[in-house]
Amino acid sequence: MGKSPEKKCADCGKSVHVRKRECSCGFVFPYKERKKKVVEDYNPHDIDYVYNNWKKVPPRTRNAKCGTCRTKMKGGMLGWYSSFTDGDKYWWCDKCLKDFKDEKYYSLCNKDIQNS
Ligand SMILES: [Zn+2]
Ligand SMILES: [Zn+2]
């Protein structure tokens, strides 16, 4: 099976599971931070998360695929979305990340049901 999504600790460089908010070294990952940093000299260590949570796939999303199973992520689907300050974006489908379904996921689900 594919491995779980991971992110790198900006402090010690260790790979930490995408759902962890803190590295074992004590580094706290920027979480749901929307502000973009102005980076003058490109430095891969400066890359931060812009978004890292469940999200509904926007209606006109194209070429988005689950990072694990390559399922096409179509508009309206729920997926785990990670975007970075350098413009990289990743989706994971809810099947691959079923172990990470949380209140946020279910609240997005419920909104769906109420709207239809
Ligand atoms: Zn660390
Ligand atoms: Zn998948």
* Helical residues (DSSP H) of the chain, grouped into ranges: 103-115
Residue 113 has pLDDT above 90, yes or no: no
Residue 71 has pLDDT above 90, yes or no: yes
Residue 1 has pLDDT above 70, yes or no: no
> Any idea which ligand is nearest the CA of 20?
1
Output the pLDDT for position 42.
53
| Domain range list for the chain | 1-30, 47-115
- What is the Å distance from ligand 1's center to 21 Cα? 11
Q: List CB-based neighbours of ion ligand 1 within 5 Å.
A: 9, 11-12, 14, 23, 25, 27
pLDDT tens figures, 6-48: 888 888 999 888 878 888 998 887 655 445 555 455 555 677 8
The residues facing 90 across adjacent strands are 82
pLDDT (average), residues 87-105 = 92
What's the pTM? 0.58
- What is the Å distance from ligand 2's center to 89 Cα? 15
